[in-house]
């Protein structure tokens, strides 16, 4: 049984992946800041750790024994990303750097990074 850490696992991709991994008998830990009613979207069977990818200590604590990290944290919609550019930047850029740095220090086997479909534009 492997342990998978999701840096934000309550969105569309995270929910789908976590269901598949749980069905295969793996352990899923979700690091989430509980914004956007994330708790109501958590897949049953996942362990939730409240935290933020922009905070190195939160990522470090969540990543204590993960085999693989799925980094899915992002401001998913273009409109909110443009209106709250600073938050979007810190989540997408700084948060990514923190997730990768912590994973490298703790010798995680793999980090899988997925962006938002919003990067493809409005017709994606």
Looking up residue 116, the CATH number of its domain turns out to be 3.40.50.720
- Domain of residue 25 covers 3-120
Concatenated DSSP letters of 73-119: ----SHHHHHHTHHHHHIIIIIHHHHHHHHHHHTT-SEEEE---GGG
Total domains in the chain come to 1
pTM of the model: 0.84
User: pLDDT tens track of the chain, all 124 residues?
Assistant: 899 999 988 888 889 999 999 999 999 999 988 776 666 788 999 999 999 989 999 999 999 889 999 998 876 666 666 677 677 777 778 889 999 999 999 989 899 998 766 666 665 5
């Amino acid at each position: 049984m492997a342990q998978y850490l999701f840096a934000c696992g309550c969105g569309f991709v995270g929910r789908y992946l976590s269901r598949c991994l749980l069905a295969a008998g793996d352990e899923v830990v979700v690091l989430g800041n509980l914004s956007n009613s994330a708790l109501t979207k958590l897949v049953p069977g996942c362990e939730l750790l409240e935290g933020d990818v922009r905070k190195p200590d939160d990522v470090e604590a969540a990543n204590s024994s993960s085999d693989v990290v799925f980094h899915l944290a992002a401001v998913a919609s273009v409109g909110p990303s443009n209106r709250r550019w600073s938050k979007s930047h810190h989540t997408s850029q700084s948060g990514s750097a923190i997730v990768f740095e912590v994973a490298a220090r703790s010798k995680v086997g793999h980090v899988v990074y997925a962006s938002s479909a919003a990067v493809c534009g409005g017709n994606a």
